[in-house]
Amino acid sequence: MGSDVLLAVVIAAAVSFDFTNGFHDTANAMATSIATRALSPRAAVLLSAALNFVGAFVSVKVATTIAEGIVDNTVIAGDAGLALLFAALAGAMLWNLVTWALSLPSSSSHALIGGIVGAVLIAHGTGAIKGEGLIEKVLLPAVLAPLLCGFVAALGTFVAYRLRPGGPTAESRRAYRYGQLASASLVSLAHGTNDAQKTMGVITLALVAHGTLDDASAIPLWVKVVAALAIAGGTAIGGWRIIRTLGKRLTEIEAPQGFVAESSSTSVILASSYFGYPLSTTHVVSGGILGVGIGKRLSEVRWGLFGTMVVAWVFTIPAAGLVAAAIWEGSEAIGSGSTGSVIMAILSGAAALTLFVTVQRKAAVEAHDTVGDHDDEPAPPARAAAPTPKAA
């Protein structure tokens, strides 16, 4: 019975993490389309939610990497393994909420990986970590992917604004806005193929540890459906804090830039999903947005904010790992079996809910705060004033 309770706790924690991933990372797909007014905020997040759901079923290579490529699966077995997975998920979820409260677009993917590594490291030492897989599958893509996306986006923006003297015309800007409907949709689809699979991988690990499943590479259909629904549900509620940061605060986004940023991001994310890299879509899209700011005018990028974002990126894996390690230690100190994990689950849930409610009450960001302040379509020429009749 205790093992069944632990499995239920892990699945609940995985769904909760996936939900926070949805509203934390909605900005990846829709921030630029909202900022340029190509889509209304509500329509954007609902479209993104639907496509995140669909994207979760496209591939399972990333889920397999999470399930097999980062830690030694032999240490994730039985009740002890389930307790480790719970600690990893709780650490990742709490770090997600901290960065959301700070309006910083950090990586949910790296938070989850950091949670797994931190919990396994504190319980079993360095020998249980697959260092080569962590470097090859996580750390190197984390550095290279945003640089590649930023370079492509900067080049594309430079070309878009110099095809005609004076930049894109009003007619071409409208065309770019229509193009954003397709490019933003593709980013959402790509986000679903990459991010929802991470939760699938963790639930699959839990099923193997519980003895319900024999092969970690065989993802059951119900796991795919649950993960897809959770990330889609989180996406649908908005995540306006992160959307505002990427769409308005990092650089001013016009329609040509939005289209280029989204197209560049889609290419990189889908390529990483194909090769099974659990890439941070946040890093990639942030790199694309930075690139379009550089491509138009270097001075338009708010470098101080970008520096703060990079600091959050650097600390995400170790910070989530430390939180996960503390939760695991707390579970062990409270009691053996499922008792410690259940109590820590209640405490973690209470902390998460308190943080969420407090931020929403004191510093809420609403949908209308995410729309760009500028209108990148020139206003029509003013009509000449009629001559004033002369007095008789």
DSSP string computed for 288-355: HHHHHHHHH-GGGS-HHHHHHHHHHHHHHHHHHHHHHHHHHHHHHHH-TTTHHHHHHHHHHHHHHHHH
What is the mean predicted confidence (pLDDT) over 135-140? 82
Residue 239 CA to residue 228 CA, distance in Å, equals: 17
Query: When comparing pLDDT for 192 and 376, which is higher?
Result: 192
Q: What is the pLDDT of residues 320-363, one digit of tens each?
A: 999 999 999 999 888 766 888 899 999 999 999 999 899 988 88
The answer to whether residue 94 scores a pLDDT higher than 90 is: yes
Note the pLDDT of residue 128: 84
The answer to whether residue 379 scores a pLDDT higher than 50 is: no
What is the mean predicted confidence (pLDDT) over 257-268? 87
Note the pLDDT of residue 166: 59
Q: What is the pLDDT of residues 42-85, one digit of tens each?
A: 888 888 888 888 887 776 666 566 656 677 777 777 888 889 88
What is the mean predicted confidence (pLDDT) over 256-284? 81
The answer to whether residue 27 scores a pLDDT higher than 70 is: no
Cα separations in angstroms, 219 against 58, 60, 78: 13, 8, 19
Q: Tell me the two tokens of residue 97.
A: 């909420």
The answer to whether residue 169 scores a pLDDT higher than 90 is: no
Q: What percent of the chain has pLDDT over 90?
A: 17
The answer to whether residue 384 scores a pLDDT higher than 60 is: no
Note the pLDDT of residue 212: 86
| Three-state DSSP state, 361 | helix
User: What rounded mean pLDDT belongs to the chain?
Assistant: 82
Q: What percent of the chain has pLDDT over 70?
A: 87
The answer to whether residue 386 scores a pLDDT higher than 70 is: no
Note the pLDDT of residue 99: 92
Give the Cα-Cα-Cα angle 128, 130, 135 (nearest 5 degrees): 145
User: Taking the complete model, does pTM exceed 0.75, yes or no?
Assistant: yes
Residue bearing tokens 């929403």: 360
What is the mean predicted confidence (pLDDT) over 232-260? 85
